[in-house]
Structure 1
Amino acid sequence: MLDDFLWRAALAGVGVALSAAPLGCFIVWRRMAYFGDATAHASMLGVALSLAFSLPIFPGVLCVALLMAITVSSFSGRGYAMDTLLGVMAHSALAIGLVAVSFLSGVRLDLMAYLFGDILAVSKTDLLVIWGGALVVIALISMRWSGMLLSTLNKELALASGFSPRREQMILTIALAVVVAVAIKVVGVLLIVAMLIIPAATARPFSRTPEMMVLLAAVLGSTSSLVGLRTSYVFDTPTGPTMVCIAALLFVIASVLWKVMDKVQREKGSVMESEYEK
């Protein structure tokens, strides 16, 4: 089965979706979209350094993404607004990475594959790295679920319960770096955050509990990956961007459906209130 490139691509897409779902929910809850964007953009510098020193891409991207996330966390609140700091760091890291790549001689590099992903070229080794990273992220968040959730909802309550918000933030940072490192092959530097945020944002209105939101985001992310892969194969379009387009389409459909349901619910409530007054 793994000898078929489409099966490898499908498994890679599902692996990224499963790892991105819980993390994407925390990014939505904490309003950290720009933070994730900065970490993802920094991964291009990791690609350049890995190629320059003839190292595997995964550890290079992981180290640089983690360094970026820790740096941003350390400098926030020290004279700079968070959005300003993230904007400077994100675009600077991306630009430095692209310039550094241009200086590499004797290295065959498909820049578009790193910017927008090349899921159809996923090898068995890449698949092992993707699913290994996904399992690490899922295990990390599962073990720290209560602390991360309490720190997200109320820092004072988390402290009172014996959890350190700073430590939980660091765990979230590590998980984000791992997801960026495993997803770069699938959707690329510029689209990683889209696969983190869009399924979680789509699931949010229909979820009554945080756990339900994570599960629904995982289903939506996996659906976007598989449907996007099939659509790309049929219409001969770029696979990574097509997957994000499908995720965006699901978000639009879910938003319209939610508004219709909300309107019907309000009208039903008005009718019941009128009958009660009579």
Structure 2
Amino acid sequence: MLDDFMVRAALAGLGVALAAAPLGCFVVWRRMAYFGDATAHAAILGVAISLALSISVLACVLTVSIVMALTVSTLSGRGYAMDTLLGVLAHSALAVGLVAVSFVSGVRIDLMAYLFGDILAVRPYDLAIIWSGAVLVLILIGWRWSALLTATLNQDLAYAAGVDPKREQLVLIVALAIVVAVAIKVVGVLLIAAMLIVPAATARPFSRTPEALAVIAGLIGGLASLAGLLAAYRFNTPTGPTIVSVAAVLFLLSTLVSALRVAQK
């Protein structure tokens, strides 16, 4: 069955959607959209390092993403506005990564595949990595769900409940780095943040509990992946951007439904 490239692509999209859904909820709740962008953009630098040293792309991307996230967490609140800091680091990491790739000689690299994804080229090995990462993220978030929610709602409440907000932020950093590492093949570094944020934002009008938001976001992300894959195949468009475009359309529909509900009350 896995010899069919469309089946592999569909499974890859579903894996990324499941991994990104619960994490995307915390990104939305904590207003960490730029944080996700900075971590994702750093992945290109990880790709350049892996090519230069001839080592695993996954390991380098994971390491660089974690280092970027830790750097942002360390520098925030030390005289730098968070949005300014994230903007500088995100674009600097992307630019340095692209420049570094140009110096790697003797290696042919398709930058478009890393920037916007190449889901149709997913191999069984990539599929195993994506689903392993998705399961690991789901286990990690599920294990720390209650503590993460408490730390997200109120830091003082978290301390009173015996929860260390800094430790929970580290859990989110690791989970975010894993998602970036496994999603780079599917949607590319420029669109990973969209797969984190858009499904979660789309699910908000239909969710009454945090758990429901995570589940619905996963369903919406999976629907966007499958519909975007089929649309890209049918209209011969770039697959990663098409998936995100479908997710954006679903967000617009969700916003309209929410507005109609408010107008009827």
TM-score, with normalisation over the residues of structure 2?
A: 0.99
Once superposed, what is the RMSD of the aligned Cα atoms?
Answer: 0.5
Q: State how 1:40-51 maps to structure 2 within 5 Å.
A: 40-51=40-51
The SS at the match of 1:3 is: coil
**CA distance in 1: counterparts of 2:234 and 2:251, whole angstroms:** 22
Paired with 1:71 and 1:95, the residues of 2 have a C-alpha distance of 17
Q: Residue by residue, what CA displacement relative to the aligned partner does 1:69-100 show, whole Å, maximum 9, x if unpaired? A: 00110011111111111111000000000000
Deviation at 1:116, TM superposition (A): 0.2
Amino acid at match of 1:135: V
State the distance in 1 between where 2:215 and 2:128 align.
23
Where has structure 1 moved over 4 Å in runs of 4 or more? none
In structure 2, C-alpha distance between the alignment counterparts of 1:6 and 1:59, rounded to whole Å: 27
* Residue 173 of structure 2 is aligned to residue 173 of structure 1: yes
Measure the CA separation in 2 of the matches of 1:124 and 1:50: 21
Match of 1:154 in 2: 154
Equivalent position of 1:230 in the other structure: 230
Q: Distance in 2 between matches of 1:57 and 1:129?
A: 12
- Identity of matched residues, %: 66
C-alpha distance in structure 2 between counterparts of 1:231 and 1:6, whole Å: 12
* 1:31 counterpart residue number: 31
SS in 2 for 1:96: helix
Q: Is 1:59 matched up with 2:59? A: yes
Give CA-to-partner distance per residue, 1:238-265, whole Å, 9 cap, x none.
Answer: 000000000000000110011011111x
- Structure 2 counterpart SS, 1:237: coil
Partner Cα distance (1:263, 1:49) in 2: 53
Identify unmatched segments of 5+ residues in structure 2: none
Which amino acid letter does the alignment assign opposite residue 113 of structure 1? Answer: A
SS class of match (2:54): coil
What are the residue-to-residue correspondences of 1:37-186 with 2, within 5 Å?
Answer: 37-186=37-186
Which deviations, in whole Å up to 9, do the C-alpha atoms of 1:133-183 show, x marking residues without a partner? 001100000000010000000111111111100000000000000000000
Q: Which secondary structure does the structure 1 equivalent of 2:104 belong to?
A: coil
Task: Note the C-alpha offset of 1:57.
Answer: 1.0
* C-alpha distance in structure 1 between counterparts of 2:28 and 2:205, whole Å: 12
Partner of 1:273: none
Matched with 1:253 is 253
Secondary structure in structure 1 of the residue aligned to 2:97: helix
Query: Cα offset for 1:124?
Result: 0.5
Q: Which amino acid aligns with 2:46?
A: G
1:56 Cα deviation after fit: 1.6
Q: Which residue of 2 aligns with 1:219?
A: 219
**Counterpart-to-counterpart distance in 1, 2:211 and 2:77:** 31
TM-score normalised by structure 1 residue count: 0.95
Report the CA distance between 1:40 and its aligned residue.
0.3
Amino acid at match of 1:93: A
Structure 2: which amino acid aligns with 1:88? V
Q: Which residue of 2 aligns with 1:270?
A: none
- The 3-state SS of whatever aligns with 2:92 is helix
Deviation at 1:101, TM superposition (A): 0.3
How far apart, in 2, do the equivalents of 1:54 and 1:39 lie? 22
Distance in 2 separating the partners of 1:52 and 1:4: 32
Larger Rg: 1
**Matched letter for residue 40 of structure 2:** A
- Alignment gaps of 5+ in structure 1: 267-278
